[in-house]
């Protein structure tokens, strides 16, 4: 199995599209850091305009944690597209290039092949998240230093610097889980396609479409929303609530795991019976 995974990773990293995600993450994060470095004071005035008359703010407010929090808010809308560029091609790419029969002529079961490709796709997703951490927190700490965080969710939360590393660690861990769900969806769609365009567009369309329907028709979709995985894509924000609710967090984690298992199981069931014509 290790050899299969290493082969799939080699195939992933020999394709130019793989590096689009890394390049996009690098450019966006550096651009955000430069932008906040230049316009940070104006941004903070806008964030705290409703409370600056009641509180006195001292110290390094524009710091690595604030910038990392802004990056988290910004990138979770873009990362799913970058993930699907690779995961949506894992199976569809083989159909497009006509290499299925060659792959399956070796003593490898279809289940092993699907699992190896899924794990390779997950490793790519993990590397994207690690790059986000290195650039946002690693590079950010060098140029902006540490400090307390003013986090705006449904209310304003202020966290001390020594209370933040574990919050960011869990937020990124949850982000990895949520992006694994996105990858599992595009991987599932990839099993039905003969090229990667369909799974990529299909995954993004499903996420955007379900999100819009859930938002616009909130009164009608209310009972269903709590069981839809897109509802919990931004649930990393739970870790930046002063009144942390473990029940909400575990529910979000459980929903993501259920959808990952559903998408992966459906892919395995379909691919075992799929007619290989190329």
Give the torsion through C-alpha atoms of 9, 13, 19, 21, to 10 deg: -10
- Of 265, 232, 229, nearest in space to 248 by CA: 232
Residues in the chain: 278
pTM of the predicted protein model: 0.87
Q: Which two tokens stand for residue 203?
A: 């995954």
pLDDT at 224: 73
pLDDT at 232: 86
For residues 232 and 255, is the Cβ–Cβ distance under 8 A? Answer: yes
pLDDT of residue 255: 93
Residue 253, pLDDT score = 94
Cα–Cα distance measured from residue 147 to residue 60, given in angstroms and rounded to the nearest whole number: 5
Phi and psi (nearest 5°) for 76? -70, -10
The predicted pLDDT at position 60 comes to 58
Residue ranges of E strands in 116-220: 149-152, 156-159
The ranges assigned to domains in the chain are: 2-273
How many CB atoms are located within 10 Å of the residue 74 CB? 14
Q: What is the mean pLDDT of each run of 10 residues along the chain (278 residues)?
A: 83 88 90 77 58 54 83 80 88 72 69 89 94 89 80 73 89 93 93 83 86 65 76 87 87 94 93 69
Instruction: Say which residues have a Cβ less than 8 Å from residue 33's Cβ, sequence separation at least 6.
Output: 67, 136, 139, 140, 143, 144
Which ranges of 191-245 does DSSP label H, i.e. alpha helix? Answer: 197-216, 218-225
pLDDT, position 177: 95
The H or E element spanning position 149 is strand 149-152
For the CA atoms of 168, 127, 179, 275, the dihedral, rounded to the nearest 10 degrees, stands at -170
Cα 26 to Cα 127: distance, rounded to the nearest angstrom: 13
- Whether the CB-CB separation of 63 and 146 falls below 8 Å is answered with yes
Q: Does residue 188 contact residue 80 with C-beta atoms inside 8 Å?
A: no
Among 214, 106, 114, 237, smallest CA distance to 167 is for 237
How many C-beta atoms lie closer than 10 Å to residue 213's C-beta?
16
Q: What pLDDT is recorded for position 278?
A: 54
Residues 81 and 173: their CA atoms lie apart, in Å, by 19
Residue 193 confidence (pLDDT): 80
Which residues share a beta bridge with 150? 158
């Amino acid at each position: 199995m290790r050899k299969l995974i290493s082969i799939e990773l080699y195939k992933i990293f020999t394709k130019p599209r793989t590096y689009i995600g890394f390049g996009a993450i690098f450019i966006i994060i550096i651009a955000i850091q430069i932008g906040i470095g230049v316009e940070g004071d104006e941004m903070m005035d806008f964030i705290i305009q409703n409370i600056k008359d009641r509180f006195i703010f001292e110290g390094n407010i524009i710091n690595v944690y604030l910038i990392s929090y802004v990056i988290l808010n910004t990138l979770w809308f873009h990362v799913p597209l970058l993930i699907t560029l690779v995961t949506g091609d894992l199976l569809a790419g083989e159909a497009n290039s006509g290499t299925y029969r060659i792959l399956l002529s070796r003593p490898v079961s279809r289940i092993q092949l699907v699992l190896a490709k899924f794990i390779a796709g997950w490793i790519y997703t993990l590397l994207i998240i690690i790059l986000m951490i290195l650039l946002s927190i690693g590079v950010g700490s060098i140029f902006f230093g540490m400090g307390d965080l003013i986090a705006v969710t449904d209310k304003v939360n202020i966290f001390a610097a020594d209370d933040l590393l574990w919050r960011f660690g869990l937020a990124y861990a949850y982000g990895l889980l949520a992006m694994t769900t996105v990858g599992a969806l595009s991987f599932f769609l990839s099993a039905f396609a003969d090229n990667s365009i369909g799974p990529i567009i299909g995954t993004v369309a499903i996420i955007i479409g379900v999100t819009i329907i859930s938002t616009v028709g909130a009164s009608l979709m209310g009972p269903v929303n709590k069981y839809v995985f897109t509802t919990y894509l931004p649930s990393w924000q739970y870790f930046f609530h002063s009144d942390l609710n473990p029940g909400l967090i575990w529910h979000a984690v459980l929903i993501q795991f259920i959808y990952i298992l559903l998408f992966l199981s459906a892919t395995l069931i379909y691919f075992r019976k799929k007619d290989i014509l190329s």
